[in-house]
Amino acid sequence: MSLESSLAKFSWLKYYILKRDYDFRVMGSAHPILAMVGEDAQLTCQLLPKRTAMDMEVRWYRSEPSTPVFLYRGGDEITEIQMEEYRGRVEWIEDGITEGSVALKIHSLRPSDHGQYWCSFKDNNYLAETSLLLQVASLGSDPYIHMGGSVESGFQLVCTAKGWFPEPQVSWQDIKGEKLLTFSNHNFQDEDGLFYVESTLVVRDASTETVSCFIHNPSLAEEKGSDVSIPEKLQTEMASLKVIGPSQPILVRVGEDIQLTCSLAPKTDAQRMEVRWVRPHRHPAVYVYLDGAHVAAEQMAEYRGRTALLSDAMSEGRLTLQINDARISDDGKYWCLFEKDGVYQEADLDLKIVGLGSSPQISMEGLKDGEVKLKCTSEGWFPQPHVQWRDMEGNTIPSFSQDLTQGSQGLFQVEAILLVTNSSVVNVTCSISSPLLGEEKNTTFSTSESGMIYSQKRLLIWGLPLLLVGVVGLIWRKSGRKVWILLTSFLHPKGKDLEKVLKSSEVRMKDTCKRQTAAF
């Protein structure tokens, strides 16, 4: 056998040994693993060919291997780098580890557990892995249909449900099973990851008798439905109570408390009713009152800790929701809904948040070619204020520029620039007004006074050396050389000879006097 043949055979043998020791693959479920929210799910993967994995590293992870769902290494469970949301919720099953079969059980499934998982085996420097798809699902509540507000030549039906996952599909059908065109759909995912759905249908055909709302779960291929008889619904609605809200917008300043009041007509005890204040959609709500208590789980995060129900007149059907510390984000439409005998009645309220800003500050930025540039600034306004310059007679002067910016809290900052080129314009006023409050703040600036002040400052600066010369000359005659030393160190710290300057001035003054005497 030649040397080349021997080397080739050795290389093949080495490859064969390595392949036997390290060349393996990982197999997982070929189909998605379907499990319900709140239940347990088991993810299993298998080494092929079968071999023990006791001395291997086995890692389960989502998108980042560095933060695993679970890590097994050297016979131990490594928890230091485990994803926080899986701590205490996963169980390592190693009954078949000697044959390369391992499993991970996830307890109390959440919507956030939905998605892809990776199972990897590592032996020395060789690594193989496979992916598995976990589908988490939840079949939510039955749809509930109630009447919304009236629209032109028709009325609205609203279908709601909660607790669905993944995001469901909503459809309306008539009595023949034909689909009806939806006016709007709103799906909201709550803090637990479950979907709340709200679908609105506009009914304009008076002959329509019955409509149905269906909610379909695409993962489970299951749906739930409800139907409503429109004539019966209309009759019930007309016979039920009415909800009355304020007819005018409610004006509240930033930082003050808001009170939203609704009442039933005729007066009816509302203590056993469901009452909710909502924004554009029923869920999540600004506030929910049910069975004599506040339902905190349905409240919008931005209103938590800021609301209180004033229920002194609840027995008469009058309820007031107080929202503390008004913010710009509170501005807008609200709805107050009362539920009685399975029927909702509502009233809308228009809340206007206002901010009366600071008094305008006027500054003169500079002089150029006879122009005076004035800048007026103010902050803390909402909604967008009206800004204008006026002269002494109250006439409007066009601004050179205006800049309105909205800060992080939603309040407006104002900056208006005015160029004054006409010397006859003496007094100008910067006025900023709130369109909702009908109030304004203004500041007047005198261009003549600013010029006079500027001139006076300039005269004082240039006249100071001459004044000092005269004063020091007088002191020299009175007190002698000691005063010179003091003044020299004070006025000329760099060592300039003030004595020479004053002597020169004295000589010039004497010459001037002699010339004036000769002239007489």
Note the pLDDT tens digit of each residue in 61-74: 999 999 999 999 98
Poorest-confidence range of 32-46, 88-102, 268-282? 268-282
Residue predicted with more confidence, 252 or 16: 252
Residue 40: φ, ψ to 5°: -105, 150
Give the chain's mean pLDDT: 82
Please give the pLDDT value at position 490.
38
Q: Please compute the mean of the pLDDT values over residues 109-116 and round it to a whole number.
A: 97
Element (H, E) at 516: helix 498-519
Q: Is 148 exposed, middle or buried (0-12, 13-18, 19+ CB in 10 A)?
A: middle
CA nearest to 53, candidates 10, 84, 91, 96: 96
| pLDDT > 70 in the chain, percent | 77
**Residues β-bridged to residue 136:** 35
- Structure pTM? 0.60
What is the reported pLDDT for 478?
Answer: 43
Closest by CA to 304, choosing from 323, 276, 281, is 323
> When comparing pLDDT for 209 and 53, which is higher?
53
Better-predicted residue by pLDDT, 460 or 366: 366
Cα separation, 113 vs 6, in Å, equals: 56
Q: Tell me whether strands 287-290 and 293-294 are parallel, antiparallel or unpaired.
A: antiparallel
Which among 18-27, 110-119, 223-232 has the top mean pLDDT? 110-119
Could you give the domains of the chain? 20-137 (2.60.40.10), 144-238 (2.60.40.10), 242-354 (2.60.40.10), 361-449 (2.60.40.10)
Q: What is the mean pLDDT of residues 130-141?
A: 97
| pLDDT average, residue stretch 105-131 | 96
The answer on pLDDT for 347 being more than 50 is yes
Confidence grade of residue 448 (pLDDT, cut at 50, 70, 90): low
Average pLDDT over residues 270-295: 90
For residues 270 and 464, which has the higher predicted lDDT (pLDDT)? Answer: 270
Spatial contact of 83 and 106, defined as CB atoms under 8 Å apart: no
Hey, what amino acid is at 9? K
Q: Say whether pLDDT at 203 is over 60.
A: yes
Element spanning 442, H or E = strand 439-446
Residue type, 465: P
Query: Coil, strand, or helix at residue 464?
Result: helix
In 287-397, DSSP assigns E strands to 287-290, 293-294, 307-310, 318-323, 332-340, 343-354, 361-368, 371-381, 386-390, 396-397
Q: Would you say residue 99 has pLDDT above 90?
A: yes
Long-range contacts, 6-10 (Cβ 8 Å, 24+): none
Cα 312 to Cα 196, 271, 315: the distances in Å are 32, 11, 8
159 has pLDDT over 90: yes
Question: In this structure, what token pair is assigned to residue 407?
Answer: 């800060």
Residue listed under structure tokens 């807008």: 332
Mention every residue, 6+ apart, whose C-beta is less than 8 A from residue 279: 286, 300, 332, 333, 334, 335
CA-nearest of 366, 355, 335 to 413 is 355
Residues 409-433 have pLDDT tens digits of: 999 999 999 988 766 567 899 999 9
**Please, which pLDDT band fits residue 13 given cuts at 50, 70 and 90?**
very low
pLDDT at 260 over 70: yes
Side chain identity at residue 348, one-letter code: D
Q: Distances in Å between the alpha carbon of 355 and those of 51, 214, 307, 358, 435?
A: 73, 45, 21, 10, 11
Helix (H, G, I), strand (E, B) or coil at 329: helix
Query: What's the pLDDT at 420?
Result: 83
Q: Is the pLDDT of residue 214 over 50?
A: yes
Q: pLDDT at residue 408 above 70?
A: yes
pLDDT of residue 39: 97
pLDDT of residue 240: 67
Q: Is the pLDDT of residue 499 over 60?
A: no
Going by C-beta distance under 8 Å and a sequence separation of 6 or more, which residues neighbour residue 162? Answer: 140, 141, 190, 194, 195, 196, 197, 283
At 110, is the secondary structure helix, strand, or coil?
coil
Q: What is the dihedral of CA 234, 239, 240, 246, to 10 degrees?
A: 90
Q: Is the pLDDT of residue 129 over 70?
A: yes
188-199 b/e with 16+ CB inside 10 Å = b?
eeeeebbbbbbb
The DSSP annotation for 473-502 comes to HHHHHHH-HHHHHHHHHHH-TT---HHHHH
**Residue 510 binned pLDDT confidence (cut-offs 50, 70, 90):** low
Cα distance from N-terminal residue to C-terminal residue, the chain: 142
Mean pLDDT, rounded, for 369-381 = 88
Residue 210's alpha-carbon distances to 145, 174, 199, 366, 497, in angstroms, are 12, 6, 17, 75, 109
pLDDT of 87 higher than 90: yes
| DSSP codes of every residue in 208-263 | --EEEEEEEETTTTEEEEEEEEHHHHHHHHHHS-EEE--SSPEEEETTS-EEEEEE
Q: Express each pLDDT in 234-254 by its tens digit.
A: 666 656 678 999 999 999 999
Can you tell me the distance from the alpha carbon of 199 to that of 221, in angstroms, rounded to the nearest whole number? 20
CB atoms within 10 A of CB 409: 12
**pLDDT score of 385:** 96
Examine the pLDDT at 311 and tell me if it is beyond 90.
no
Query: Can you tell me the mean pLDDT for 47-74?
Result: 94
Position 147 scores a pLDDT of: 80
Phi, psi angles (nearest 5°) of residue 488: -60, -45
The token pair that represents 255 in the structure block: 């930082």
Integer Cα distance of 351 and 333 in angstroms: 6
Q: How many CB atoms lie within 10 A of CB 265?
A: 11
Residue 317 makes CB contacts below 8 A (sequence gap 6+) with 241, 263, 264, 265, 267, 268, 269, 270, 338
Question: Which amino acid would we find at residue 174?
Answer: D
The predicted pLDDT at position 229 comes to 85
Give the mean pLDDT of 184-201: 92
pLDDT tier for residue 10 given thresholds of 50, 70 and 90: very low
**pLDDT band for position 114 (cuts 50, 70, 90):** very high
Q: What is the pLDDT of residue 461?
A: 32
Model confidence at 133, pLDDT cuts 50, 70, 90, reads: very high
Residues of the chain with pLDDT > 90, as a percent, come to 56
- At residue 372, the pLDDT reads 82
- Alpha-carbon distance of 162 to 177, in angstroms, equals 24
**Residue 315: how many CA atoms within 13 Å on its side-chain side?**
1
**Looking at the predicted structure, is the pLDDT value of residue 279 above 70?**
yes
pLDDT at position 152: 72
